[in-house]
Amino acid sequence: MKRKLLGALLSVAMVASLLAGCGAAAEAPVAEAPAATEEAAPAATEEAAPAATEEAAPAEATGTKVGVAMPTKDLQRWNQDGSNMEEQLKAAGYEVDLQFANNDVQQQVSQIENMINNGCNVLVIASIEGDSLGTVLATAKEKGIPVIAYDRLIMNTDAVSYYATFDNYMVGTKQGEYIKDQLDLDNADGPFNLEVTTGDPGDNNARYFYQGAIDVLQPYIDSGKLVIKSGQLDFDQVATASWSSENAQSRAENIVSSNYADGSNIDAWLCSNDSTAQGVVAALDANYNGNWPIITGQDCDIVSVQNMIAGKQSMSIFKDTRTLAAQVVKMVGQILSGETVDVNDTTTYDNGTGIIPSYLCEPVFADINNYKELLIDSGYYTEADLQ
């Protein structure tokens, strides 16, 4: 009995310590944010950040079984998210049904149906496509099963109870600011050549990442200090289906051969995440002879951190999945115990049926100057992982 009590106390302490990394976040554009870059920028980060944690009404649920649906095992970050979620939920005493859907929407739908039929009391879902789960989640709602949208907002269904993520608009803002600072756009004469690669158009987050960065860089594009030789800037032109490295590489190869074969330099390549950045790096390795550009990314995948160390990727947004998992475990516990669920944003994320109460954690970026502190000293990776 004493050992069980000690184990429970240690689990609570672990979750509480990880939650220290979560912070109040900036207001992002609404989920319907247009791709066109001439739209007005959302409110400034400082003004949008909530002063204190807000609270949402308690959700009703009984039992201790949690279904966790992840998109795929093909990307390192989803393996880490799923593993961290399962570990922390089990440590907190819950039964866990963790499933990966191989980026197949129908497979994810079937997995969620099975979770509902097998008695899950709460669903945590990182969707493959935000618009594809309405029917199955209607069943969850009918059965009184609360749903937490994990990292990706689930669209056009009133069955979503809460949303837990990192501040997606801030991710893009930090990427844009990194390019601005590294090129010293406020002082350097330029012009500088820029290309852009963002994510899957079916992932609602992709537009936030894109818009956050473009809102930083658009004034320099308008002034001519940043030049996009490919002419491709609108979201639909720069999107990458399935966040695929292969798709990003193919498009980057076409851009390089069509616009930079004359020896022109690419000064910066804005990539919204690491899988697209890896595709761009592969294309440049194969076909580009100019000076190496600044390349952004997100997720701090091992391959991208290795590329960072090798000088082929400049930075990557670090979203510590342990922190987000800890916050979701806390929300699950509050739901299952009938407590008020902690959220810190009740104005930003409209999924087409209304605002979804959200908890946003704050991202940071890693580059060659701080990756050891963020990734190794924190225990996220070991030195051997990055060899």
| Residues whose CB is less than 8 angstroms from the CB of residue 203 and which lie 6 or more positions away in sequence, other chains included | 129, 130, 152, 243
The answer to whether 165 touches 151, Cβ cutoff 8 Å, is yes
Question: How many alpha carbons fall within 13 Å on the CB side of residue 5?
Answer: 2
Q: Tens-of-pLDDT digits for all 387 residues of the chain?
A: 433 333 443 343 433 443 344 443 333 343 343 333 333 333 333 333 333 444 454 444 456 899 999 999 988 889 989 998 999 999 999 999 999 999 999 999 999 999 999 999 999 999 998 899 999 999 999 999 999 999 999 999 999 999 999 999 999 999 999 999 999 999 999 999 999 999 999 888 999 999 999 999 999 999 999 999 999 999 999 999 999 999 999 999 999 999 999 999 999 999 999 999 999 999 999 999 999 999 999 999 999 999 999 999 999 999 998 899 899 999 999 999 999 999 999 999 999 999 999 999 999 999 999 999 999 999 999 999 998
CA distances from residue 302 to 298, 342, 344 in whole angstroms, order as listed = 11, 32, 31
Q: Show contacts of 12-17: CB within 8 Å, 24+ apart.
A: 12/92, 14/88, 14/91, 14/326, 15/88, 15/91, 15/92, 15/326, 15/329, 15/330, 16/326
- Residue ranges of alpha helices (H) inside the chain are 2-18, 45-48, 76-91, 105-117, 134-142, 168-183, 204-223, 235-238, 245-259, 274-287, 302-309, 321-336, 371
Region for residue 373 given its phi and psi (left: phi exceeds 0; alpha: psi -120 to 50; beta: otherwise): alpha
CB atoms within 10 A of CB 382: 10
Closest among 201, 272, 205 to 242, alpha carbons compared = 201
The token duo for 256 is 């390089």
The answer to whether 316 touches 281, Cβ cutoff 8 Å, is no
Element spanning 270, H or E: strand 268-271
| Unique residue bearing structure tokens 């007005």 | 40
Q: To the nearest 10°, the Cα dihedral for 126, 129, 166, 148?
A: -40
Predicted confidence at residue 74, as pLDDT, reads 87
Strand partners, 316: 366
CA distances from residue 335 to 29, 60, 65, 332 in whole angstroms, order as listed = 28, 6, 12, 5
The answer to whether 375 touches 305, Cβ cutoff 8 Å, is yes
| Residues whose CB is less than 8 angstroms from the CB of residue 359 and which lie 6 or more positions away in sequence, other chains included | 22, 162, 163, 164, 165, 327, 331, 342, 343, 344, 345
Predicted confidence at residue 293, as pLDDT, reads 98
Q: Which domains does the chain have, with CATH numbers?
A: 2-164+322-355 (3.40.50.2300), 168-318 (3.40.50.2300)
Q: How far apart are CA 196 and CA 27, in angstroms?
A: 23
Mapping DSSP to helix (H, G, I), strand (E, B) and coil, where does residue 135 land? helix
